[in-house]
Homo-oligomer: A and B are copies of this chain.
Amino acid sequence: MRKRKGAGRPTIADVAKKAEVSTITVSRTLRDPAKVSTALRERIEAAIAALDYVPHSHASALASSRSNIVGVIVPSLTNNVFADTLRAIYDEVDPSPLQVQLGNSRYVAAEEERLIRIFLGQRPSALIVAGGDQTKAARAMLENADCPVVQIMEVDPDPVDMMVGFSHYEGGRAAGMHLVQQGYRRIGFIGARMDPRSRRRMEGFAEGLRTAGRHDPDLFMITTQSSSMTLGAELMGQLRARRPDLDAVFCNNDDMALGALFGCQHAGISVPDEIGIIGFNDLEMMAAACPSLTSIRTDRYEIGRTAVDMIRAALEGERPDQKVVDLGFELQARQSTARKARR
């Protein structure tokens, strides 16, 4: 005999035998208890408990061709920006039968493509991916995926399927206009990583300055290194060394901004009087810092919540009101850009 032995764990058949019912009744008890009479249900539940039975999700997925997996691909696990959104996704998904499968693309498009391929192997119930800058092949796979797809963190008129986020370009523009309004004149930019979203922020920022006649490309300093507070301090130092007349900077994210502040403090430069600083995302630390730091607030938790909502609606066959949801942003003006009037 060449029967293959299972891993040893009890199966639904073991439960059925113990409870003296058929396997399908056990299956029903698990998935839709209302369909089973109380007497049987209790017997079955007792058997499940006695055997310590745990349903085999792969077998279930195969038989029902429903995996209940939501694939989520983000470019970073350490960036707090995604942490909030992920938390929201997990919070929303946990009480449902859905399960999250998380992938980290490390800001590499090819890696994202690889992950999409792997995730499709699980026949996911839905996919969530960050942004709209997929490779051609990745985009094609997403378009052919027979499940809802939500792109998050951005808005774009041409989504694969659905999209929820905000405009990085407009956020950057608002930052630029704010610094001009606050009376700053020689306004710079420091940016690390410079992924496509950071790039759009920078472009919006430049446009904001340009309309006020304050755009000076020489004051823009970018690097492909990943962002950190240390790097924020460093770039701030470099930029000031190059252009001592600099009087304000927009940092491409809050880590860079707080780092820039620390850099100024270590160098004995007063913020906001000598230099104004504005960040992006408005992490919790921005309000706490001393001086508190101006930033562009984005509702990252809400993005995650909305994405899962859209998925749920789509899985229930609802047509969404809108395929693209713009959650906007809000400028939080704080001490770091409020310098005393100078004349």
A90 at the interface (CB under 8 A from B): yes
Instruction: Spot the interface stretch: A32-40, A55-63, A216-224, A309-317.
Output: A55-63
Asked if residues A144 and B230 are in contact (CB atoms below 8 Å), the reply is no
Say which residue of B84, B232, B258, B259 sits within 8 Å of A78 (CB atoms): B84
Q: How many copies does the complex hold?
A: 2
Asked if residues A56 and B121 are in contact (CB atoms below 8 Å), the reply is yes
Residues of A contacting B: mostly: helix
Output the residue of A8, A52, A102 with the most chain B CB within 10 A: A102
Asked if residues B102 and A100 are in contact (CB atoms below 8 Å), the reply is yes
Say which residue of B121, B141, B262, B287 sits within 8 Å of A230 (CB atoms): B287
Please, how many angstroms separate the alpha-carbon atoms of A61 and B8 in the complex? 15
Contacts A7-B146, A80-B78, A90-B104; is A59 near B62 (CB within 8 Å)? Answer: yes
Q: Output the least CB separation between A290 and chain B (Å).
A: 4
Asked if residues B78 and A99 are in contact (CB atoms below 8 Å), the reply is no
Output the residue of A77, A101, A232, A255 with the most chain B CB within 10 A: A77
Asked if residues B290 and A65 are in contact (CB atoms below 8 Å), the reply is no
Asked if residues A121 and B284 are in contact (CB atoms below 8 Å), the reply is no
Which residues in A have some Cβ–Cβ distance to B below 8 Å?
Answer: 6-9, 52, 54-59, 61-62, 65, 67, 77-78, 80, 83-84, 86-87, 90, 94, 99-102, 104, 117-118, 120-123, 141, 144, 146, 228-230, 232-233, 255, 258-259, 262, 265-266, 284-285, 287-290
* In the complex, the 3 A-B pairs of residues with the closest C-beta atoms, listed nearest first: A265-B290, A229-B288, A58-B61
* 30 CB < 8 A contacts A-B: A6-B65, A7-B123, A7-B146, A54-B120, A54-B121, A56-B62, A56-B121, A56-B123, A57-B58, A58-B58, A58-B59, A58-B61, A58-B62, A77-B86, A77-B90, A78-B80, A78-B83, A78-B84, A87-B104, A94-B104, A102-B102, A228-B288, A232-B288, A255-B285, A258-B285, A259-B288, A262-B288, A262-B289, A265-B290, A266-B290
